[in-house]
Amino acid sequence: MNTPDWDQLHRTAVEISKKAYVPYSKFPVGVAGLVDDGRIVAGCNVENASYGLGLCAECGMVSALSASGGGRLVAVLCVDGKGDFLAPCGRCRQLLFEHGGPELLLMTADGPMKMAQMLPWAFGPNDLDRNDR
Ligand code: THU
């Protein structure tokens, strides 16, 4: 896999952030991810009158990943309503870890960072092998 086209991911994230449904926070988020087969998947946040049920943009993107054929995420870029890079929330780092693992690249204000750095000591699918199930 070549270097991710971060500009393309940024354009895609900004575009989908405009579709965010955020009547409560008024904080649109858009996210785009490069899949290991070259596909780009994206998502925006979708809030709910029952505030705690709001879906982060990353949830939508992970759904789109599975719905469009699955695969592994290799690079992810998330933006706020101004188009500035946004560090995914803790819960979403866990979601992204599941589908990209420790080598997944996340764009930050300090440049691309590996998931291993954004979510150190992560709990993941391999940990489930510890117990007999
Ligand atoms: N949000 C995301 O969509 N992703 C993140 O990683 C951080 C937060 C959303 C949730 C809520 O709709 C709004 O941003 C304000 O917290």
Find the helix or strand (DSSP H, E) in which 112 lies: strand 111-114
Q: Which of 45, 84, 108, 119 to mutate to test the pocket of ligand 1 (most atoms within 8 A of CB)?
A: 45
Number of independent structural domains in the chain? 1
pLDDT digits (tens, 9 = 90+) for 63-84: 999 999 999 999 999 999 999 9
With beta carbons less than 8 A apart as the criterion, state whether 129 and 102 touch: no
Q: Which residues of 67-105 are buried (b: 16+ CB within 10 A; e: fewer)?
A: eeeebbbbbbbbbbbeeebbebeeebbebbbebbbeebb
Question: Among the atoms of ligand 1, which is closest to the Cα of residue 78?
Answer: 6
Q: For a pLDDT cut of 90, what percent of the chain falls above it? A: 94
Domain annotation covers residue 26:
yes
With beta carbons less than 8 A apart as the criterion, state whether 17 and 57 touch: yes
| pLDDT at residue number 131 | 83
The separation between CA 115 and the C-alpha centre of its own chain, rounded to angstroms, equals 11
Mean pLDDT to the nearest integer, 90-111? 98
Question: Among the atoms of ligand 1, which is closest to the Cα of residue 89?
Answer: 6
Catalytic residue (choose from 15, 47, 58, 103): 58
Which range of residues forms the domain containing residue 34? 6-121
Q: If you measure from the C-alpha of residue 56 to the centroid of ligand 1, how many angstroms do you get, rounded to a whole number?
A: 5
Domain annotation covers residue 126:
no
DSSP structure class, residue 108: E
For ligand 1, whether the C-beta of 89 sits within 6 Å is yes
58 catalytic residue (yes or no): yes
For ligand 1, whether the C-beta of 122 sits within 6 Å is no
Domain annotation covers residue 50:
yes
**pLDDT band (50, 70, 90) for residue 132:** confident
For ligand 1, whether the C-beta of 88 sits within 6 Å is yes
Expressed in angstroms, the distance from the first to the final Cα of the chain is 35
Token pair belonging to 70: 């699955």
The CATH number assigned to the domain holding 37 equals 3.40.140.10
Amino acid identity, residue 127?
D
Q: Which residues pair with 46 in a beta bridge?
A: 21, 55
| pLDDT at residue number 2 | 67
